[in-house]
Amino acid sequence: MIGKSGHTPQNFTLIIKENTMPIIKIDDKDYDTESLSEEAIAQLTSIQFVDQELGRLQAQAAILQTARVAYSKALSDALGAELVFN
């Protein structure tokens, strides 16, 4: 777990300033990433991976939802054409 607040942080912000060590803000507290334990760095890396994967999956879901709408419209058009010809 990152931080000592006794709960899982819901969001964090990585701040990188020129010529300084990267700082991460967790639960409104700044941490120098150079001073984090190996376990904390591993957990942070996992969170970053999960966030990236969630973003990728959300984009994929949006693509699939768009495709579903297009297929539904095509089906409706096809059914409408069948009714006209029958």
pLDDT at residue 52 in the model: 96
Structural domain boundaries in the chain: 12-85
pLDDT at residue 24 in the model: 86
pLDDT at residue 7 in the model: 56
Q: In what order do the strands lie in the sheet with 12-15?
A: 12-15, 23-26, 29-32
- Rounded Cα distance between 24 and 12, Å, is 7
Q: Which residues of the chain are modeled with pLDDT < 50?
A: 1-5
pLDDT at residue 81 in the model: 74
